[in-house]
Amino acid sequence: MQSWVTFQISVPKELVALMSANRDGEMPDPEDSSRKIYCFSQNVPIPCYLIALVVGALESRKIGPRTLVWAEKELVDKSAYEFAEAEAMLKTAEDLAGPYVWGQYDLLVLPPSFPYGGMENPCLTFVTPTLLAGDRSLSNVIAHEISHSWTGNLVTNKTWEHFWLNEGYTVYLERRIGGRLFGEQFRHFQALGGWRELQNTINTLGDKNPVTNLIPNLNEVDPDVAYSSVPYEKGFALLFYLEQLLGGPDIFIGFLKAYVQQFAYKSVITEDWKKFLYSYFKDKVDVLDKVDWNSWFHAPGMPPVMPVYDMTLANACVALSQRWIKAKESDLGSFSSADLKEMSSHQLIEFLALLLLESPLPVSHVQRMQQVYDFNAINNSEIRFRWLRLCIKAKWEEAIPLALKMATDQGRMKFTRPLFRDLYSFDKCRDLAVKIFLEHRASMHPVTSMLVGKDLQQEQ
């Protein structure tokens, strides 16, 4: 897109228009007194997929010197509280990656059918209301979208085969922000959670599936169908591995900053990135030559090497998950609410994620878990999602209505697709899952509807 573009949007005057651009004010529509015109300008060149426009009954709250949060009035105060760390994250990102060139950084909370965690539209990040946990524990998604202001929006993948350059890099920067704000152990804990997420994805897709390549062949493939956590987490794992190989976080962040400077306002492919890596670390070519590049880029399944993780925050999750996996019926009385007393929301997510990588638990175990931990009462979407998956995999019939409700109350594909897939795999509720999907299909985002339809063999 050319470098200076202005927009004028006419809307009914009771509504608000927002764009992926800086707001330049509003004026009455000279041709219709019931409407007003909103003006916008974008002075940074952007690829066309980052042009976004929204119109709605929106209100805003100021949460930082360059940030308003926008939402419908029912959610605006809750959103302002949840995302209050945005400015601290922006400042940290600037320190790590260089100046923020976009001017304004606003957030918009979309309706629940929005299919992604967030979308990094310049000047106006879109986010899902499933982030509104009430305790700011899911704010890593905001750090992720902020990070895209450098990796993705300033340096962009040339084609979707090289999507990992957008997403793997952005996850890396997101976790560096988390490390600065919450400590290096927290960064490692989030990184380990990402590795588990990758294991889960590859278990679902199959470890020989070519879409699990870091650089997949998308010839005749719809990128929406190929979309998964692979470019995010396999891409991150490569960068985290290289960080450890090349001298640690302080040395590697110098490379990231130089990479952004080198390719700002350009589109790149993996070969461009790799050549720049070799030229930046010209004194470590022998180390780089030992990397199995072919397996990292072109082999399906898990990466050829697992990075090293600090296990401090993960150990409690591993220990508790192992107790449940090994527990016999006679051991179930040994569990109590005290098991979770010292655990954060992030650790509860990891505990449940570890159980999901194992064979399904017996129904008696998930029933006891509900008795002592009362997971049904937790509204944190990441915890609730994993808990309900655990229940459905254990074939606990009482969880069916709760899982169907979560799958349809919101449309974030990260949650909706696995829940529907699990329900479809449970013979007791397969027909009900299909029936509920068909009833809700018309109100789903088209991409969600298409992909859940594929999963449930209800393609249109």
| Beta bridge pairs of residue 67 | 64
Q: Name the 3-class secondary structure at 50.
A: helix
- Distance from the Cα of residue 227 to its chain's centroid: 12
Tell me the average confidence (pLDDT) per consecutive run of 10 residues in the chain, 460 residues long.
80 98 96 97 93 97 98 98 97 98 97 97 98 95 98 96 97 98 97 96 95 95 89 98 98 97 96 98 98 98 98 97 97 97 96 96 98 97 98 98 98 97 97 98 96 91
CA-nearest of 261, 179, 172, 162 to 213 is 162
Q: What is the pLDDT of residue 331?
A: 97
Q: Are strands 155-157 and 266-268 parallel, antiparallel or unpaired?
A: parallel
| Active site amino acids | 145, 232
Counts for the chain of helices (H) and strands (E), in that order? 19, 12
**pTM of this prediction exceeds 0.75:** yes
Q: What is the pLDDT of residue 200?
A: 93
Q: In whole angstroms, what is the distance from residue 411 CA to residue 323 CA?
A: 34
Q: What is the pLDDT of residue 354?
A: 96
Q: What is the pLDDT of residue 147?
A: 98
Q: Name the 3-class secondary structure at 361.
A: coil
Q: In whole angstroms, what is the distance from residue 117 CA to residue 144 CA?
A: 10
Q: What is the pLDDT of residue 3?
A: 61
The Cβ-side half-sphere exposure at 170, using a 13 Å CA radius, reads: 29
